[in-house]
Homo-oligomer: A and B are copies of this chain.
Amino acid sequence: MASTIRKDALVVFSPSGKRGRITTGTTVLQAARGLGVDIDSVCGGHAMCGRCQVDVIEGELPKHGIDSRADNLSAPGNVEQQFLVGDGADSGRRLSCHAKIEGDVAIDVPASSQVHRQVIRKEYEAHDIDLDPVVQPCFVELTPPDIHLPDGDLQRVFAALRRDWQLDGLTCSLRAMQQLQDALRQGDWQITVAVRKNREIIAVWPGLKERLYGVAIDVGSTTVAAQLCDLRNGDLLASAGKMNPQIRFGEDLMSRVSYIMSNPGSERQLSDVIRRTVNELIAEVAANAGVEINDIVELTLVGNPIMQHLFLGISPIELGRAPFKLANDASVDVRASELDISINPGGYAYVLPCIAGHVGADTAGVMLAEMPFERDEMSLIVDVGTNAEILVGNRERLLAASSPTGPAFEGAQISSGQRAAPGAIERVRIDRHSLEPRFKVIGCELWSDEAGFADALPNGVTGICGSGIIEAIAEMYLAGIVLANGRIDGTQAERSKRIVADGSVHEYVLADDDRRISVTQQDVRAIQLAKAALHAGVLLLMKERGVDRVDRVRFAGAFGAQIDARYAMVLGMIPECDLDAVSSAGNAAGTGARIALLDRKARPLIEAQVRNVEKIETATRPEFQDLYVAAMAIPQRNFPDDNG
């Protein structure tokens, strides 16, 4: 039993190094808060959540002038011991809300108990994510109500949040207000509230609620994707994708805008369709992860300007005609229910800002995932979709533009083209002598010339996807089938029966089993036009930025993840640079949405950076046309051909 006489003890926290003299009898958690050391806690010191576990560093620490001893903390009581055993905590750990300081002690706060810890990044991600979500679960316990005190129940909750969580001046969502009294009585005066931005109670649950969830949405013209995250640790619990059903109103963005222009009022319909898809995806990821939709308290969203506007219920008509004005170029933070989005009814949707009429919140997501504005190196970041969004710059100046590549890189407008899906050719090699091809198909590990290939493909080879057509044309060029000006050389028909005349032009037959899959002259022209647009955009930005080479190239998007940098360079999609400096950024727009979900600081950061970035409108630049024409040819580069 500790002495009841209060005196001071020296307490040191690691890894922060914060230290101070603390009155004995104080809990480690209180001491930490007093010294500005963040220790995680949901229950606010009720030994219910187990998140405030700490280790004692035993022994003399000359640097701190302290002889730290584990028994300078109060002995673990029943509650604490039971909890630590029950939750399978490491032996020796203590609950900082229950362990009282009785003498000098050095306390280590393990990573798992730190509030602003980092989420381990995926291999293609550019940086770690700080975990600091906008919504925080706070457990409070009230005394039963007293008829002699007139305060409303909400006011008693506010008082408890002030006392236990130092949260002041809070408001409360209508929905939480409606559920409060029931939750209090169900939880026997213990509840957990979800507090957003330290400002508003958005939701309430009876008893202790430890896990809250968020969902990051990436709305593309073609596909819509959702990632469900645990806001406690940043874990990605489930992800799912769906085709964007707006495709029935038009394959590409501009045809959807045309549809709206000729069918006034139909923007409602397109908004409803996209919101319904988002709701279906939320339901899907929640079901896959075994999470209640009501426990999802925050949503973030990226998308191109037209998708972002439609999701917000804003007609995209003005984005389809000059001068291509965004209704709003700032972020939007709005209750999800206002958008008919089904998460917790008090939850919010944060939609990242658009950059310009043709450069959307998806590019803001890419910026956030890649943070070129924090690097000294000169970055070129390309997000290839129906259009290519291009970022060039570094911490000093960053430029953004959109270049009208059209959908050829996605396999559209290609004779045998298809989306990247099982059955699509994605890798191509052509023998320099025999001009015979071999290829790989999505969904199969074997090359087409390996034994068992045919049997491994139940539906055969169905087409060629974006990365496949890039490789095919680059290999055709390297094998001499395609000339630098893009023409398929008919004289090569003498060397191989795969080069076939079609009127005055020729095509190259990749496969001719159940389906004939060939690269036609028109396919080469389509890819030339697309890559010229991309390259011209990149060169325009580099020129504006005043650089003639970049230090690193990042390909974002699904196409970017598939593409082989080597072939991108052969075709002249990107400027010449060290091949090792070219890499995939994965679905960086989606990663950006996830960062905005997990780290509240990312929001003002990207809002400020989006304002700072210099917007280049390629359409209004006369030099763009010259660059575009010049970029049509396949460059004569001194490129090592290792497939010879």
Chain A 174-218, CB-CB to B under 8 Å as 1, else 0, gives 100110111000000000000000000000000000000000000
Contact A617 B148 (CB under 8 A): yes
A585 interface hit (Cβ, 8 Å): no
Query: Are B174 and A313 in contact (CB-based, < 8 A)?
Result: yes
Counting contact residues on chain A (CB < 8 A from B), the size range is 35 or more
Q: Is A146 an interface residue (CB 8 A)?
A: yes
With A182-B315, A354-B152 known as contacts, the answer to whether A177 contacts B327 (CB < 8 A) is yes
Contact indicator per residue, chain A 329-367, by CB within 8 Å of chain B (1) or not (0): 110101000110000000000000011110000000000
- A 313-327 contacts with B by CB, 8 A: 313-315, 317-318, 322-327
Cα distance A145–B356 in the bound complex, in angstroms: 13
CB neighbours of A356 from chain B (8 A): 150
Contact of A325 among B153, B178, B619, B620 (CB under 8 A): B153
CB-based contact A313/B155 at 8 Å: no
Confirm or deny: A496 has a beta carbon within 8 angstroms of a beta carbon on chain B: no
Do residues A174 and B312 form an inter-chain contact, with CB atoms below 8 A?
A: yes
In the assembled complex, the CB of A334 is this many whole angstroms from the nearest CB of chain B, namely: 5
A180 and B327 form a contact (CB under 8 A): yes
A288 interface contact, C-beta 8 A: no
Contacts of A98 in B (CB 8 A): none
Complex CA–CA separation, A181 to B615 (angstroms): 21
Chain A 243-266 interface mask (CB, 8 Å, partner B; 1/0): 000000000000000000000000
**Copies of this chain, tallied across the complex:** 2
Q: How far is the CA of A181 from the CA of B356 in the complex (A)?
A: 16
Given A145-B323, A155-B328, A155-B329 in contact, is the A314-B150 Cβ separation under 8 Å?
no
B-chain residues with CB within 8 Å of residue A615 when the two chains form the complex: 150
Q: A174-B338, A181-B315, A332-B177 are in contact. Are A357 and B325 (CB under 8 A)?
A: no
Q: Please provide the chain A residues from 505 to 533 with a CB less than 8 Å away from any CB of chain B in the complex.
A: none
Which applies to chain A's interface (DSSP): helix, strand, loop or mixed? Answer: loop
Given that A147-B617, A177-B332 are contacting pairs, would A153 and B326 also be in contact in the complex, using a CB cutoff of 8 Å? yes
A126 at the interface (CB under 8 A from B): no
| In the assembled complex, A446 has its CB within 8 A of some CB on chain B | no
**A154 contacts the other chain (CB 8 A):** yes
Name the interface residues of A612-634: CB closer than 8 Å to any CB of B. 615, 617, 619-620
Bound Cα distance A356, B338 (Å): 32
Asked if A172 is at the interface of the complex by the 8 Å CB criterion, the answer is yes
Given A147-B322, A322-B147, are A181 and B330 neighbors across the interface (CB < 8 Å)? no
With A151-B329, A153-B328: A323-B146 Cβ-Cβ less than 8 Å: yes
Contact B147 A328 (CB under 8 A): no
Q: Contact check, A355 vs B155: say whether CB atoms are below 8 A apart.
A: no
Chain B residues with CB below 8 A from A150, complex form: 326, 329, 355-357, 615, 617
Residues of B within 8 A of A181 (CB): 314-315, 317-318, 325, 327
Instruction: Provide the bound-state CA to CA distance between A154 and B172, in Å.
Output: 28
Smallest CB separation, A618 vs chain B (Å): 12
User: What is the bound-complex CA distance between A329 and B619, given in angstroms?
Assistant: 58
Chain B nearest CB: distance from A21 CB in Å? 39
A133-157 contacts to B, CB under 8 A, are 145-148, 150-155
B313–A152 touching, CB < 8 Å: no
**A151 contacts which chain B residues (CB < 8 A)?**
326, 329
Q: Please, which residue of chain B has its CB at the minimum distance from the CB of A314?
A: B178
Assuming the contacts A146-B323, A174-B338, A334-B174, asked whether A328 and B182 have C-beta atoms less than 8 A apart, the reply is no
Q: B152 and A326: CB pair below 8 A?
A: yes
Residues of B contacting A180 in the complex (Cβ-Cβ under 8 angstroms): 327-328
Question: How far, in Å, is A325 (CB) from chain B's closest CB?
Answer: 5
Contact B324 A178 (CB under 8 A): no
Determine whether the beta carbon of A153 is less than 8 Å from that of B327.
yes
Residues of chain B within 8 A (CB-CB) of A338 are 174
Interface CB pairs A-B, < 8 A, 15? A145-B323, A146-B323, A147-B322, A148-B620, A152-B325, A152-B329, A155-B328, A174-B334, A177-B312, A177-B328, A177-B332, A180-B327, A181-B325, A181-B327, A182-B315
Other 5 A-B pairs with CB < 8 A, given A145-B325, A153-B328: A150-B615, A152-B330, A153-B326, A178-B312, A178-B313
User: Which 8 A-B pairs have CB atoms at the shortest separation, nearest pair first?
Assistant: A152-B329, A147-B323, A152-B326, A150-B615, A154-B328, A150-B356, A152-B328, A145-B325
